[in-house]
Amino acid sequence: MFKGSKTQLKTATFCFDIVSIFATAALAIAICFTFFFRTVVVDGNSMNPTLTHGDRLIITAMAKDYKYGDIVVCSQPNPMEKTLIKRVIATEGQRVTIDFVNGVVKVDGVELDEPYIAEKTYREEGIAFNNTVVPEGCVFVMGDNRNNSTDSRSPMVGFIDTNYIMGRVLFRLSPQFDMHVADF
C-alpha cells in the first residue's frame, strides 16, 4: 500500500491522470495523422494566389469523391519528380475545352466561374490536352496560376489517375501558422 498522506496520494493520482490524458491525446493524434490525415508543404507558385510557397496543408486521404474545385495532392509519377498540388477542373467523362483567345476554360461546354485564378488562361505552348474527355478513373487538374503551372494540360502530367491522389486539402496553415479552412 502507498505510504504517505492522503494529499500525496491525491497529488500522485492527479499527476498520473494528467500524464494519461496527454499520452492518450498524443496517441490519438498519431493515429489520425498516420491513417486519416497528412501534412504537406507547398513547393512552388503554381497555385498562387490561393496557396503560396511554404504554406503547410492538412489533407485527408479519406475523400475519394473528387469534384470540381477540390484542391488535391497528387503523387503520380512525372518527369519533374514532384508531388503536385492542383485544383480539380473536371472528372471522368467530362469534356475540357480551353479557349486561349478569350482565356477561359469550359467543362461540357459551360464556361467555368474561376474567381480563384491569378489570371486568365492564355499560355498555349506545350499544351497537349485540350478539347478532350477525361478518361474513367481520372481527373483533369490545373494550377490557379494558369500561365505558370505544369498540370493536366501538359504531356508531362496529363490526366491524373485517382489512385495517385494522396488526398484533398482540408486546411491551410500559412507560414505564420494561421489556420484557414479550405474554402478555396
Label residue 4 left, alpha or beta by phi (over 0 means left) and psi (-120 to 50 means alpha). Answer: left
Centre a 10 Å sphere on the Cβ of residue 141 and count the other Cβ atoms it contains.
27
Q: Is 5 part of the annotated catalytic residue set? A: no
DSSP single-letter state for residue 162: G
- Choice among 5, 20, 46, 82 that is catalytic: 46
**CA–centroid distance for 164 within its chain:** 12
3-state class percentages of the chain: helix first, strand second, coil last, to nearest 5 = 20, 30, 50
Q: Is 3 part of the annotated catalytic residue set? A: no
- Choice among 64, 75, 86, 149 that is catalytic: 86
Q: Which residue numbers are catalytic? A: 46, 86
